[in-house]
Amino acid sequence: MEIARTRLFFDLGDPLHLPVIIGEASCTYMAQASFDDKFQITVNVTRIGDKGFDLSYEMSNQENQSIAGGRTVMVACDNDDHSAFRIPKDMRKSLEIYSAL
C-alpha cells in the first residue's frame, strides 16, 4: 500500500512536499501470498473532506484473486505547527481525478 500511495503522490506532484500525514491506516488480509508473488495494487480516492481524504487499496494476484484490501485516512497538516488545514484547491482538483466517488 505504501508503494501505491507513493506513486499516487508522485502523480499529484512532489511527494516530499505534499502537506499530508497518515491519520489512520488499516489492512485486511483475505488470502495467503508468497514473497515472490507478483501483485497489482489499485488505489482510489474514496472521500475528500475539508481537511483530509481517504484512500482505498485493493491488492490482487496474477490470477486476479483478492489478496488484501486497505484504507488510509490522510490529513492535510502543517509541518511547522502540526495543525490540520483545508486542502488547497489545486490539490483537491488533483485528488478528484483519482476519485472513485
Q: Residue 16: pLDDT band by 50, 70, 90 thresholds? A: low
Alpha-carbon 6 to chain mean position? 8
Residues 6+ apart with CB under 8 A from 31: 61, 65, 66, 67, 68
Higher pLDDT, 28 or 87: 28
What is the maximum alpha-carbon separation in the chain?
Answer: 47
| Residue range of the domain that includes 42 | 2-97
CATH value at residue 26: 3.10.129.10
Q: How many domains are contained in the chain?
A: 1
Distance CA 85, CA 29 (A): 33
Pair 73, 65: CB distance under 8 Å? no
Question: Model pTM?
Answer: 0.87
Q: What is the pLDDT of residues 17-71, one digit of tens each?
A: 678 899 999 999 999 988 889 999 999 999 999 999 999 999 999 999 999 999 9
Higher pLDDT, 74 or 17: 74
Distance CA 40, CA 49 (A): 27
